[in-house]
Amino acid sequence: MTDTLHATDNFMPEQRRGSAVMRLALSNELGLAVLIAIAFGAFAITLPGFTSPFSLFTIGRQIGIDTMIGLAMMAVIVTGGLDLSVGAIGVCAAMVFGFLAQKMGIPLPLAAPGAILFGAVLGFINGYTVVRSGVHSFIITLASMSIFFGVMIFLTQAQSFNELPASVQALGKLRVGGMVSVLLLITLAVCAALSIFYRYTVLGRQMLAAGANPRAAELSGIRTGRVIISCHMLTGALAAFAGLMLTARTGAAVPSMAGHLGQDWLLPAFLAPVLGGTLLSGGRVSVVGTLLGATFVTIMTSGLLLMRVGEFWILACLGLMLLLAVLADRFRQQVLRARGMI
Amino acid sequence: MALSFTRIFDNDWVGPGLVSLAAIIGISIFQPSFLSPFNIFVLLSAISVNMVIALGQLVIIAIGQMNLALGAFGGLVAICFVAIMELYGVPPILATVIGLAIGALAGGLTGFVIARTGISAFIITLAGLQIFKGINLGITEAQPFYGVPQSVKDFGNLSMLGPIPWLVLPMIIASLGMWYLFARLRIGRYILAIGGNRTAAELSGINVTATIIWAHAISGLLAAIAGMMLVARLQIGQPTIGDDWLISSFAAPVIGGAVLAGGHVSVAGTFFGVVIIAIITQALVLFAIDPFVVQIVLGGLILWAVGINRLRELRVAKFNARTA
């Protein structure tokens, strides 16, 4: 029963009851935007240097990277699954990029798409295994994160590629108008493309339908297996993209850039979409919400760092933030249900 | 005859047990030093710690959830255990009790949030992982505590009898305790019932909230034991304790035939899962194979075990369909 209602929620929003204003007021996006404005205002007033061009540039760059990581996870959460291997895929793709650009001397315009394609291939391996085995993506990607990372460390012998062409690092340092990172602009472009993709393309709509109610989608002629595999491929490609952006920031492809097995990406990967209102049960995405979620997290982290809160305590704060985000989401759904809006 | 033969193989622990035996025989033929008393001692120490870790995940798998925060619990308890002994001179026995209490409390708290909100255990334990790891690093600033008393060091590094380390003791107690829990105790039956079919369990009057809290508290308790065992073995309070528990804590129960959807677990199977992982890790060292390969092998083992479990499920389904 809830499943059917849930599916209509995505495709026929005009049938929902309740005023548009009320819906907007209870949406994640508006709430987040207000929180961002408050946090940014408070830090800007109390912390000198928070709004300096360089500070804004680094914050923007971080937002760009964290949003991309969040989008990568969002693309697979749509199916009601998840991908623990995003970090491993991101690092693997970055290392492939390093190998192509540094060792093989392949020009960057070819090496970068090659690395992203490689990420999509790793995503395909995940998706194919999940669909064919029928085992939950948690355990499959737990295994594949270990395998991808293990193979990468074995092949690279944990050595980084740090003699990349100078233009890679230059891209990471490039500013538009003195304070806007090019990486942020790239992410915004990807956000726009993804919004169009989920809203107007057949495959994008199929992904949402298959996530909301796989049986209904199957019955209406969608080949859910293929759609789920393409979700995993999209996740792989976006994770690879994030890996490349991180490479541009550091100017080198480093095997440890996402921590042991790529685990360090897990929190930003889930935090941004969950804050932004993507349902973990699948079927609903919010690209703008993910962008706002990553923005909020980055502003809080930068502000707390400037306030000299130890970086380790910030880790604990981020965990707490994830907890509060899901609790708030639960509360919001209860309110909406009580008012008959879902 | 044929039927009883199949019956034996339907036991979860038989397959992994045979694989362990074959691996031990195979490796000791190529490398006789594998069965030297020293090597057995090292192997048993590793198996003891990893078994307790795997049991911590097993109880959560049984109820149909997952615990990403297991390693964070273990690491936090390990740090607190050494910190109170070093800074306040608390005797080891009392410190152990406090450590166990912290673990059970952290687990129980996580379970409480999961049970009361109904939010997926994955996301709550991911938040828990970050919070407890953050507290750990915030306390230690990533520096180890060195003040481990000699008695604790001895417990982790001396032998009880021949090649059998003292560390085996907590492992045996924990394993028997968990076996007893699932086979005889009401709470264990409740955990399996909820894992098998939550709605049915709820309708038959089981207090789901309390059971989930219990399961997570037990998981936290086991993580605490494993964390303190590692302190004894490593002889220092490392803040990194628990960082690498995630993969192996899932691999061993899955190799031991646990159904990830919940409701079906095997303590004996998990033990042989731990043994297989320990043997393979050791063999890679003995044959001087790149240690990085361990990660690949662990991931491969999970996939292999998941595949085997899946085949067995299908076979059972077919068998039931024929007899029905």
The tens digit of pLDDT for each residue in B87-122 reads: 998 999 999 999 999 999 999 999 999 999 888 899
Task: Kindly state whether A145 is in contact with chain B, defined as any CB-CB distance less than 8 angstroms.
Answer: yes
Residues 100-119 of A with CB under 8 A from B: none
pLDDT for A13 equals 42
Q: What is the ipTM of this complex?
A: 0.84
Tokens of A140: 């499959």
Residues on chain A touching B250 (C-beta within 8 angstroms): 139, 142
Residues 166-225 of A with CB under 8 A from B: none
Among candidates B141, B250, B297 on the partner chain, residue whose Cβ is nearest the Cβ of A139: B250
Tokens of A199: 């809203």
Tell me the per-residue pLDDT of B258-314, one tens digit each, with 9 for 90 and over: 888 888 889 999 999 999 999 988 888 878 787 778 888 889 988 988 888 888 777
The second-level CATH assignment, the architecture, of B19-323 is Orthogonal Bundle (1.10)
Other Cβ atoms closer than 10 A to B234:
18
CB A165 within 8 A of CB A109: no
Q: Which amino acid makes up residue A230?
A: S
pLDDT for A225 equals 92
Q: What is the DSSP letter of B149?
A: -
d(CA B163, CA B34): 13
The domain ranges of chain A are: 57-338
Tokens of A100: 């192509």
Bridge partners, residue B38, by sequence: none
pLDDT tens over chain A, length 342 residues? 333 334 334 443 444 445 666 666 667 778 888 889 998 999 999 888 888 888 899 999 999 999 999 999 999 999 888 999 999 999 999 999 999 999 998 999 999 999 999 999 999 999 999 998 888 899 999 999 999 999 999 999 889 998 888 888 888 888 888 889 999 999 999 999 999 999 999 999 999 999 888 888 988 888 999 999 999 999 999 999 999 999 999 999 999 888 888 888 998 999 999 888 887 878 888 899 999 999 999 999 888 888 888 888 888 888 998 888 888 878 877 777 777 665
The second-level CATH assignment, the architecture, of A57-338 is Orthogonal Bundle (1.10)
pLDDT classification of B83: cutoffs 50, 70, 90? very high
CB A74 within 8 A of CB A230: no
CB B196 within 8 A of CB B262: yes
Contact B131 A260 (CB under 8 A): no
CB A113 within 8 A of CB A172: no
Query: B237 by DSSP, 3-state: which?
Result: strand
**A-B contacts at Cβ under 8 angstroms:** 135
d(CA B3, CA B299): 34
Among candidates B130, B132, B306 on the partner chain, residue whose Cβ is nearest the Cβ of A135: B306
Task: Kindly state whether A13 is in contact with chain B, defined as any CB-CB distance less than 8 angstroms.
Answer: no
Helices A202-212 & A182-200 angle (0-180, nearest 10): 80
Contact B296 A150 (CB under 8 A): yes
- The strand pair at B159-161 and A175-176 is best described as unpaired
pLDDT for A11 equals 40
Contact A261 B247 (CB under 8 A): yes
Contact A316 B130 (CB under 8 A): yes
B112 vs A47, B104, B125, B215, CA distance in Å?
38, 12, 11, 10
B23: nearest Cα among B257, B275, B308: B275
Residue B239 has pLDDT above 60, yes or no: yes
Tell me the per-residue pLDDT of B177-189, one tens digit each, with 9 for 90 and over: 999 999 999 999 9
A256: nearest Cα among A140, A162, A126, A122: A162
CB A67 within 8 A of CB A265: no
Other Cβ atoms closer than 10 A to A185:
14
Q: Which amino acid makes up residue A290?
A: T
A101: nearest Cα among A114, A109, A89, A111: A111
Residues on chain B touching A323 (C-beta within 8 angstroms): 113, 124, 127-128, 131
d(CA B234, CA B144): 11
Contact B128 A267 (CB under 8 A): no
Among candidates A139, A270, A319 on the partner chain, residue whose Cβ is nearest the Cβ of B254: A139
Q: Is B193 exposed, middle or buried, given 0-12, 13-18 or 19+ CB atoms closer than 10 A?
A: buried
The domain ranges of chain B are: 19-323
